[in-house]
Amino acid sequence: MNHFHQVLDIHDSIKRKRRVAHCFRFFLSVARFLFIATVVCSVFNSCAPFPCSSNHILISGNYKLNDSSQGLPMTMMWYNVENLFDTIDNPFKNDQEFLPSGSKQWHRYKYVQKLNHLSEVIASIPSDQLMTDTALPIPNDGSNYWQMMPAVIGMCEVESKQCLDDLTNRTMLKPMHYRSIITHSSDARGINIALLYDPMKLRLIKSYSLHVDSTLHTRDILVAEMSVFNPKSLSRDSLYLFLNHWPSRRGGPKVSEQKRIRVEQVLINEIQKVRRKNKTAKMIVMGDFNTYASSKELSIFTRDYLMCRLPAEPKSTIHNKMFPSVETRSKILCDEYAITGSYLYQGRWGSLDHVFISPNLVEHVEYSTLFVRDWMLDKGKRLGGYQPRRTYLGPRYIGGYSDHLPLLLYLTF
């Protein structure tokens, strides 16, 4: 009997030792896993975009924003993207034309191709200074190419937030981690104004829409108050963006002029309100104004409200200061193809898209330009010259980019 109990005790002792060994191996495995996870995370974090800091951001190499001897370069972009619709029916808007069952047969293939084309244009912006024709892969390491990507992209003719999410998360723009804002206007077709911004370069304070007039059924004005770090003063500057898409010229310029003047008055009232609140506020007003620089609406705006239009005319007093002779790929192509505006109408180039800045931003401007590449253009058979390679020409699907060319503004803070 005693022998039997001894055998049982030995067996229990062996089982206890095995359980201790299992527990030890388990904790050892957990420790190994945590160590490997820590190493992987540290490697990933060293390659991923880094969090924004108010006084220390690594841009490229040894360049730091808290070095007051260097300015922070920043690219602003405006682009009428020509009917960026998703494929989902909005029962409250007249978007039937851009549905799979609509007259444009706007199915997923066309939608995805449109997104890819727009992302190709945006991702090619740094190539303008690098004198190349195509977009390069966007790195995540704070290199110069990442540095030259647009910090702000204003767009019009965007239907929904879903379009912006797909553009920023399902195309080559994904490494930029752009954040987006969109209005919800009373436009009958449901097209809106949108903003993409790089949170590594700008901090959003607030954004809001200015509703114009319900009887006009036009687009709201998108206002965004941003904060940008100024390495020279080691402080943050307030930057106000006003994005516009004024009523079209349908019915003739005289008939539609009054509609645009009503929108302009809403914009002017808001600018005056901002100036009363912050006299030193820096402001950028950009958009598709559907009118030319010499028009009554824009003449009032620049004359009475001290806004400088870009690009300035060669004879203007601010031209030489703001626009040194900068040789970019876009400038070469504009000269070669005689492109003098962002939009082609009846064979003539004109600028319906404009950028205005407040006078206290003049010293920060490096230059502004149209952005163009060969692959964004078509050789016009009827017109004899080059024209923007658009998505649709009437009912015919072209599969291009947009009927407008984008505008670029290069600043240094």
pLDDT digits (tens, 9 = 90+) for 337-377: 888 899 998 888 988 999 999 888 888 888 888 999 999 99
Take residue 53 and report the two structure tokens written for it: 């800091």
Copy the structure tokens of residue 180. Answer: 């987006």
Amino acid 4: pLDDT: 47
- Joined together, the tokens standing for residue 301 give 């705006």
Domain count, the chain: 1
State the residue for tokens 């009554």: 296
Q: Is residue 60 predicted with pLDDT exceeding 60?
A: no
Given pLDDT bands bounded at 50, 70 and 90, which one contains residue 324?
very low
| Alpha carbon distance 321, 161 (integer Å) | 39
- Indicate if the pLDDT at residue 76 is higher than 90: yes
> Above pLDDT 90, what percent of the chain?
45
Q: Is residue 217 part of a domain?
A: yes
**What's the distance, CA 254 to chain centroid?**
33
Side-chain-side CA neighbours of 46 within 13 Å: the count stands at 6
pLDDT at residue 122 is higher than 70: yes
User: How much is the average pLDDT of 178-182?
Assistant: 97
The pLDDT value given to residue 163: 97
pLDDT digits (tens, 9 = 90+) for 193-239: 999 999 989 999 999 999 987 778 899 999 999 998 776 666 788 99
- Closest alpha carbon to 81 in 144, 146, 199, 171: 171
pLDDT band per the 50, 70, 90 thresholds, residue 183: very high
Cα distance from N-terminal residue to C-terminal residue, the chain: 92
In the 3-class helix/strand/coil scheme, how is the chain assigned residue by residue? CHHHHHHHHHHHHHHHHHHHHHHHHHHHHHHHHHHHHHHHHHHHHHHCCCCCCCCCCECCCCCECCCCCCCCEEEEEEEEEEEECCCCCCCCCCCHHHCCCCCCCCCHHHHHHHHHHHHHHHHCCCHHHHCCCCCCCCCCCCCHHHHHCCCEEEEEEECCHHHHHHHHHCCCCHHHCCEEEECCCCCCCCCEEEEEECCCCCEEEEEEEECCCCCCCCCCEEEEEEEEEECCCCEEEEEEEEEEECCCCCCCHHHHHHHHHHHHHHHHHHHHHHHHHCCCCEEEEEEECCCCCCCHHHHHHHHHCCCEEECCCCCCCCHHHHCCCCCCHHHHHHHHHCCCCCEEECCEEECCEEEEECHHHHHHEEEEEECCCHHHEEECCCCCCEEECCCEECCEECCCCCCECCEEEEEEC
Confirm if 360 and 280 have CB atoms less than 8 A apart: yes
Question: How much is the average pLDDT of 136-142?
Answer: 56
Q: What does the pLDDT read at residue 314? A: 39
Percent of the chain with pLDDT over 70: 72
**Are the beta carbons of 194 and 224 closer than 8 angstroms?**
no
Which of 271, 267, 284, 305 has its CA nearest to residue 365?
A: 284
What's the average model confidence in pLDDT over 298-315? 63
Cα–Cα distance for residue pair 333/106, rounded to 1 Å: 32
43 in a structural domain: no
What distance in Å separates the CA atoms of residue 11 and residue 30, rounded to the nearest whole number?
29
Residue 332 — very low, low, confident or very high, per pLDDT cuts 50/70/90?
A: confident
Unique residue bearing structure tokens 């977009």: 135
pLDDT at 266: 93
Token pair recorded at residue 360:
């206290």
pTM recorded for the entire structure:
0.79
Classify residue 59: in a domain, yes or no. Answer: no
Overall average pLDDT of the 324-340 stretch: 77
Higher-confidence residue of 2 and 372: namely: 372
CATH number at residue 143: 3.60.10.10
**What are the φ and ψ backbone dihedral angles of 115, each rounded to 5 degrees?**
-60, -45
302 within domain boundaries: yes
Asked if residue 97 lies in contact with residue 83, where contact means CB atoms within 8 angstroms, the answer is no
Cα-trace Rg, the chain: 28
* Range with lowest mean pLDDT among 60-64, 77-81, 144-148: 60-64
- Residue 405's pLDDT is 95
Mean pLDDT of 163-188: 94
Residue 195 in any domain: the answer is: yes
How far, in whole angstroms, is CA 406 from its chain's centroid? 11
Average pLDDT of span 287-297:
89
| Orientation angle between helical segments 296-304 and 253-277, nearest 10 degrees | 20
- Kindly state whether residue 47 falls inside one of the protein's structural domains: no
Q: Of 180, 167, 5, which is closest to residue 81 (Cα–Cα)?
A: 167
Whole-number pLDDT of residue 14: 60
Of 83 and 58, the structure prediction assigns the larger pLDDT to 83
Answer positive or negative: Cα dihedral of 146, 149, 357, 131. positive
Residue at 77 is within a domain: yes
- Max mean pLDDT among 19-33, 136-150, 240-254, 312-326 falls in 240-254
| Domain span holding position 204 | 73-412
Mean pLDDT of 306-314: 58
- Over residues 25-36, the pLDDT tens digits come to 776 676 776 666
Q: What's the distance, CA 47 to chain centroid?
A: 23
